[in-house]
Structure 1
Amino acid sequence: MKICRTRHGGRLAILAALLTALLGAQHRAEAATKACRIDGIPNELQCGSVQRPLDPARADGPQVEIHYLVVPAMARNKQPDPVVMLAGGPGQSAIGIAPMVMARLARLNNRRDLVFIDQRGTGKSAPLECADESRLPLSQVADEAASLRRVDACREQLKKLPYGDLRFFSTTIAMQDFDAVRAALGAERWNLIGGSYGTRAALEYQRQFPQRVRRTVIDGVAPPDLVLPESLSTDVQAALDAEFKACEGEPACAKRYPQLRQQWEQVLASLPRSVSVRHPVTNEPATFTLTRTTLLRAIRGPLYVPAMTSMLPAAIQSAARGNFDFLGGLGGSMASNKATRLAMGMHFSVICAEDAPRLGKGGEAPARDMGRIDAELYERVCRDWPRADVPAAFYQVPPAQSPVLLLSGGADPVTPPRHAERIAKALGAKTQHIVVPQAGHGVMGLGCMNEVLYRFIDARTDDTALPQEAGCAARIPRPPAFQPIVRTEVQP
């Protein structure tokens, strides 16, 4: 009887210890957050923050506060592994885009918490924001020298902040912040979803903390070794050329815009020239000198979204006839969206540290129209921008220890499939690369892709997580060329 009591007592002690550990983890998660609400999400949420050293080597030095948002799982018997969204840019606020992405993550949210972390330098986490230029007069926007002076002024203002040492806003350090948030929430592992620059961040988190990752989705892959200022011009050129070719192959488009390429070349050859357009944000009339560089940068925005790309033929034809309103409106279509606006100080801190030192070493030739306009811009900005020390291992992508789903849009003008293809090879056997031929920058928001993401992350075992079938998205057609409505006078 004595031995029996001791055996039962041991079992009770073990159960008590396990219960204490579970309650302790739950208490840590609850203590890390407090109830909050944000615009665009109707239900009550949880907000929290963690204190982190600005310089990881100086724990007693200046601190930054990393803010995060938790959208609690709807079901009571939730899964222990949350889903964390890594925002794009670099420079985008994850909390800021939360209302925009909730619809595509709604099913995952049924049994998993969703976590949105403002990466250091963005949103509420030690923001490095330059002045909002969306309402600047177009004459100032088009003035390259004036734009560079504003960047220089912003850099000097940011350096005066308590956390203004711009050398400590690299992706590597930021992912250490993310792991501190994971620990504060009491999650042993979590699932990563990264879009655009968020894919680079996800790959870096996975490199540093592979044991903390259960599943990873990277959409619009921007690898750590991508020299963005060079590849950007190449990929934008390819997307523009693909639109010209598609128009030539579409009977209705070819009939309405039979000289589209020639009209584009005609517009470029006419620059610089004085144009009169309406401001895309304020709608105020403006006259300014349009330069080739300004037009080439403006053409990039519409190429991100196929529905907007379909309007380019009409806009180019209109510009060739002397009316730049349509082209100007398309080019400025993203300027007024506060949720997707970038913290440019953080943007330059990342690109100047991780990409700029490798300019000229990526093997990218100057694009036919785009030339080196992006490389030249970053060369000038990064010349005086403080740079983080980037470890050599940052540029290496080790084999994945957990399943990774890579997504690419075939019409993406900034992160096309060619970048994801080589990263899929580096990640190895636990990967699948899905290409949606007619998609632009970002695939997760398309039709049935939220179901694909759900099946991948919800799969009980790694063996059943991949492969995923995404034929529903692959069959999405290219939007036909936009046909302007022609008004005709009705005779009485």
Structure 2
Amino acid sequence: MREWRGRLAKAYTALTLAGLGGAAAAAPLQPCRIDGIPNELQCGSLQRPLDPARPDGVKIAVHYLVVPAMARNKQPDAVLMLAGGPGQSAINIASRVLPRLSRLGNRRDIVFIDQRGTGKSAPLDCPDDSKLPVTEQLDSEAQMKRLDACRVALEKLPYGQDGGLRFFTTTLAMQDMDAVREALAVPQWNLVGGSYGTRAALEYLRLFPTKVRRTLIDGVAPADMVLPASFSADGQAALDQLFDAHAKTHPQLRTEWQQLLASLPRPVTVAHPLTGQPERFTVDRELLMRAVRPPLYQPMLASALPAAIHAAAKDGRFEGLFGLTSAFGSAKAMRLAMGMHFSVVCAEDVPRLADSTDKPGADFQRMDADMYTRVCKTWPRGDVPADFYKLPAAPSPVLVMSGGADPATPPRHGERVAKALGAGHPERVQHLVVPQAGHGVMTVGCVRDLMFRFIDAKTDASALPQDGSCATRIPRPTAFQPIQAPTTTGAAQ
């Protein structure tokens, strides 16, 4: 669902206490190779009960990747990378993330665990519809039928039968993560989580506080954010921020945006993002909003939105808008296991939708809330403990990072989490806001060294605060200006 309407719905999301059920025997680590990483690594798996309350019932294999420390005299506390989504495979994104963690890898193992429902760990994948004809991808009714067919297919899997999709919540997944820690004989994790991975990190910290040495969470998506509602409010704030940031270079941008909205629905012809073949379809308000949101995640892509909006409003040319959307998260590694995605969101977010205090954005309105509500009516819903939505005080240092231009997890969520974690011991928590960063501060150049200093600090007292001025001073990218070919007059010489 990453191409056009179906694909854009996935991009939104540009987001699980019973006992351990007995730690099953882990398969010995074996040499392995991962796409995008040149050196040999180590892979393993651990058998886990699908339902911890039935340790003798259905088992699933949780797969993990270990990137061994370079130094022989390594530190015992490994780094655990928690992937986003929900629905990302941690192992699949390892090649993208490792450059950001390279200094940490000198003296610490770096571990990537495919959370249950993702990658090779009892995957809950839906068919990739990016190669379908555009008209099929854009049809919301057809999209709902595809999701329903996916649910039916997943419920036929050995781990999907008899309501098995209920057992893919964040809480149960974090029990898996601790079982892997035991299997690897790691005394404590250094948690690093991005986007939904921050929710996972916070839940692991709540469940196993003594097993965490340091926690770094980037783009915070806490359990209480009520994902579909916050999407609309936060997406609108980021879009309005874009208009304000480029008011001088594009003074008519807001007017052109309103003109574009008022012109819908309208037929357009745009080349298919994969085949390049021109296809004709109708752009309505929902499709336009789904096209605009993904570029907002990355300020460099967002800098081209003013020109793309102008071209669509004034000339009816939509290539720029859909080209920017296609450029976001098109890699295979970024795809989500949509079955796992809905198992998480339908259990943890949607039941709280009616109580959300977030007001729908003027332009984004309730389209996400309506879509998730509709899917979750038939999706099996897992049990979520009441304490899942609580944030106890942090027992160890936590570095919270937020991008000021983030359309999904802006600073307001990080601020709320930092305040709760720092209750009684504010020195244990730092909230670093990078005003002009988008969804993910770890990608900002100098933050790699800041992360290293935080985790590598010998004592808790020296871990925080960290100086993030190298990142906070970075300006917003200037608006992209299309190159205009010179106009020639007269006959060619």
Q: Normalization by structure 2: what TM-score?
A: 0.91
Tell me whether 1:53 sits opposite 2:30 in the alignment: no
Contact 1:314 1:483 in 2 (8 A): yes
The whole-number CA distance in structure 2 between the counterparts of 1:237 and 1:454 is: 34
- Could you say which residue in structure 2 is the equivalent of 1:23? none
From 243, 256, 274, the equivalent of 1:263 is 256
Query: What does the per-residue CA deviation read over 1:72-104, in whole Å, with 9 as the maximum and x for residues that have no partner?
Result: 000111000000100000000000000001111
Equivalent positions of 1:54-453 (< 5 A) are 54-164=50-160, 165-248=164-247, 250=248, 253-254=249-250, 258-320=251-313, 321-334=315-328, 336-428=330-422, 429=426, 430-453=428-451
Q: Which residue of 1 aligns with 2:20?
A: none
1:451-490: per-residue Cα shift (whole Å, max 9, x none)? 0000000000000000000100001110000011111256
Deviations along 1:128-183, whole A, 9 cap, x unmatched?
00011222222112111111111111110000000111000000000000001000
Q: Which residue of 2 aligns with 1:40?
A: 36
Aligned to 1:3: none
Alpha-carbon distance in structure 1 between the residues aligned to 2:417 and 2:201: 13
Q: Deviation of residue 364 (structure 1)?
A: 1.2
Letter in 2 for 1:82: A
Shift of 1:208: 0.3
One-letter amino acid of the structure 2 residue matched with residue 444 of structure 1: M
Contact map agreement 1:134 1:336 (CA 8 A) in 2: no
The CA deviation at 1:32 is 3.1
Q: Deviations over 1:250-288 (max 9, x none)?
A: 4xx23xxx3111111111111111110011222221111
Larger Rg: 1
How far off is 1:432 after superposition? 0.2
Identity percentage over the alignment?
64
Q: Is the contact made by 1:32 and 1:185 (CA closer than 8 Å) also made in structure 2?
A: no
CA contact (8 A) 2:82 2:193 kept: yes
Query: What residue in structure 1 maps to residue 14 of structure 2?
Result: none
Q: 1:136 to 1:43 in 2, by over 3 A?
A: same
Q: CA deviation at 1:335?
A: 5.4
* Structure 2 counterpart of 1:448, one-letter code: C
CA contact (8 A) 1:318 1:324 kept: yes
Q: What whole-Å deviation, never above 9, does each CA across 1:422-469 have from its counterpart, x for those lacking one?
A: 110100121000000000000011111000000000000000000000
- Between the aligned partners of 1:357 and 1:285, the Cα distance in structure 2 is 41
Structure 1 residue 48 displacement after superposition:
0.3
Tell me the distance in 1 between the aligned counterparts of 2:277 and 2:183. Answer: 49
Pairwise CA RMSD: 1.4
Task: Give the gaps of 5 or more residues in structure 2.
Answer: 1-23
For residues 222-270 of structure 1, the C-alpha deviation after alignment (integer angstroms, 9 at most, x for no partner) is 001110100001101110010001111x4xx23xxx3111111111111
Which residue in 2 is equivalent to 1:24?
A: none
CA distance in 1, matches of 2:132, 2:26: 44
1:397-430 CA distance string (max 9 Å, x none): 1001010000000000000000010110100121
Cα deviation digits, residues 182-229 of structure 1 (max 9, x gap): 001001111000000000000000000000000000000000111010
| Amino acid aligned to 1:125 | S
Measure the CA separation in 2 of the matches of 1:361 and 1:284: 45
Can you give the 5+ residue segments of structure 1 that lack an aligned partner in the other structure? Answer: 1-27
Contact 1:54 1:63 in 2 (8 A): yes
Distance (whole Å) between structure 2 residues aligned to residue 332 and residue 376 of structure 1:
24
The equivalent of 1:488 in structure 2 is 486
Larger displacement relative to structure 2 (285-294 or 345-354): 285-294
Q: Please identify, of 166-175 and 127-136, the stretch whose mean Cα deviation from structure 2 is larger.
A: 127-136
